[in-house]
Amino acid sequence: MNNLRGSMAIVGAADTEVGTLPGRSPTELCVEAALLALKDAGIDKSSIDGLITCNSFAEPILYHAEAMAEYLQIFPGFCATVNTGGGTTLTVLQQAAAAIHAGVANTVLISMADSMRSFMTREQAMLAQSSTGHPQFEQPYGPSVPAYYALIGQAHMAQYGTTAEQYAEVAVSCRAHAARNPTAQMRKTISVEDVLTSRLIADPLHLLDCSLVSDGGSALIVTSAERASDFPHQPVYMLGIGEAHSHEHISQAASLTTSAAVESGQRAYQMAGLMPADMSFAQLYDCFTPTVLIELEDLGFCEKGSGGDFLQTGATYPDGVLPVNTHGGMLSHCHPGNPGAMYALTETVWQLRGTAGERQVNNAEVALVHAQGGIMSSHATAIFAREVN
């Protein structure tokens, strides 16, 4: 798959408003994001010959991508609805790149949205949270999604001596980035103490260790590297991408402290011909704070077991050696469900274009984006750059 290196570029990117948007359905947000991305790319919808979407929790549609194509009145030759949980946002990039490389499509629209905040009742949300586990071996014991991630957090604490204070650094760091982002849902800075004194959700996770619940949509336009210069903005090239899938249910995971991010990261680094030290910044999936700590280790930014110490150096803060989640992440910017990591991609585009404003990373040339779905189950890593060399 190394022939995908540098073969595809992102030429359009857009987000809708995020937060609490009671007047706009998931379908409306998905279409709004798509139209905004088309405008950013400077093209008409008639130019789109590929469409990828992810279904909505709040407004599920049987043939989602086809329904969005109908709504938009576009008629793609390549059309797919994909769902690998939170990792969907990156796995679809590999599919889009393969389709473009094979000549199946020239210009692919990727659009995702959901309204987890405004269009789901508390009962629906609790059902979604509690139905993730294995129906025989997990669900009968009553755990919800936060409990599964708390299990991972406890395992890392037991094996490596990680502390709740170290997990809290993830939330504080993300909020420091969000404070510079006018579109973030939560912008008031917080401290480690604030995290530790927020309401306990599932030991060791407090409320501020948990991602937001949001409405919002986000979209990208991707095309071949050869065509990328025909568009109005600085193209953002995909240099490497890798997937890895270790389990579906957490009770079947071989390890609670090492994830398949190891393999997905290695595949992305190999394709790109780069190493962790080459990254200007990183966007890491942050549904809960322990997730980021484990990803930092598994993706090679620090040694296994040292993620807590790494976080306490301030490395991931806005002026750190590796700014992480420069838009605020799902802990502070927004998290509308499966589309949550789309905002990491659009943020990466703006950082590499050099248009991120107050939160702009100095000398942003190369970035890593990582997403995962399920309970640390399905992982995808991608590396992007301003130039292909």
Q: Is residue 141 part of a domain?
A: no
What is the distance of C-alpha 173 from the center of its chain?
Answer: 17
Residue 12 has pLDDT above 60, yes or no: yes
Q: Are 304 and 77 in contact (CB under 8 A)?
A: no
Note the pLDDT of residue 140: 84
Note the pLDDT of residue 86: 87
- Are residues 226 and 85 part of one domain? yes
Q: Is residue 125 part of a domain?
A: no
Q: Which residues pair with 245 in a beta bridge?
A: 378
Note the pLDDT of residue 119: 84
Note the pLDDT of residue 299: 98
**Percent of the chain scoring above 90 in pLDDT:** 89
Note the pLDDT of residue 1: 54
Q: Is residue 139 part of a domain?
A: no
Cβ neighbourhood burial of 128 (10 Å; 0-12, 13-18, 19+): middle
pLDDT band at 3 (very low <50, low <70, confident <90, very high): confident
By residue range, what is the domain housing residue 155? 147-212+238-385
- Are residues 86 and 116 part of one domain? yes
Supply the pTM of this predicted model.
0.96
Closest Cα partner for 282 from 343, 360, 344?
344
Q: Which residues pair with 366 in a beta bridge?
A: 385
Radius of gyration of the chain (CA): 19
- Are residues 201 and 63 part of one domain? no
Helix axis angle, 289-298 to 261-272, nearest 10°: 50
- Are residues 303 and 188 part of one domain? yes
Strands 107-115 and 50-53 turn out to be parallel
Note the pLDDT of residue 328: 98
Closest Cα partner for 312 from 153, 139, 192?
192
What are 349-360's pLDDT values in tens digits?
999 999 999 999
- Are residues 339 and 251 part of one domain? yes
What are 249-265's pLDDT values in tens digits?
999 999 999 999 999 99
Q: What mean pLDDT comes out for the span 77-104?
A: 92
Residue 303 has pLDDT above 70, yes or no: yes
Q: What mean pLDDT comes out for the span 268-296?
A: 98
297: left (phi over 0), alpha (psi -120 to 50) or beta: alpha
**CATH assignment at residue 297:** 3.40.47.10
- Are residues 345 and 304 part of one domain? yes
- Are residues 338 and 207 part of one domain? yes
Q: Are 284 and 365 in contact (CB under 8 A)?
A: no
Q: Using CA atoms, how far apart are residues 14 and 111, in angstroms rounded to an integer?
A: 9
SS3 57: coil
Closest Cα partner for 72 from 102, 113, 101, 106?
113
What are 111-126's pLDDT values in tens digits?
999 999 998 777 777 7
Q: Are 234 and 350 in contact (CB under 8 A)?
A: no
Q: How many domains does the chain have?
A: 2
Q: Is residue 140 part of a domain?
A: no
Q: Is residue 134 part of a domain?
A: no
Q: Tell me the helix, strand and coil percentages in the chain, rounded to 5.
A: 40, 20, 40
Kindly report which listed range (131-145, 149-163, 323-337, 357-371) carries the lowest average pLDDT score. Answer: 131-145
- Are residues 163 and 67 part of one domain? no
Q: Is residue 128 part of a domain?
A: no
Closest Cα partner for 53 from 29, 24, 36?
29
Residue 149 has pLDDT above 70, yes or no: yes
Q: Are 360 and 354 in contact (CB under 8 A)?
A: yes
Tokens of 331: 């802990």
Note the pLDDT of residue 125: 72
Tokens of 18: 């995020």
Q: Is residue 259 part of a domain?
A: yes
Q: Are 167 and 209 in contact (CB under 8 A)?
A: yes
- Are residues 174 and 93 part of one domain? no
What are 164-203's pLDDT values in tens digits?
999 999 999 999 999 999 999 999 999 999 999 999 999 9
pLDDT, mean over the chain: 95
Note the pLDDT of residue 120: 78
Q: What mean pLDDT comes out for the span 71-91?
A: 92
- Are residues 159 and 40 part of one domain? no
Q: Is residue 256 part of a domain?
A: yes
Q: What mean pLDDT comes out for the span 316-322?
A: 97
- Are residues 227 and 290 part of one domain? no
SS3 6: coil
- Are residues 269 and 164 part of one domain? yes
Q: Are 110 and 96 in contact (CB under 8 A)?
A: yes
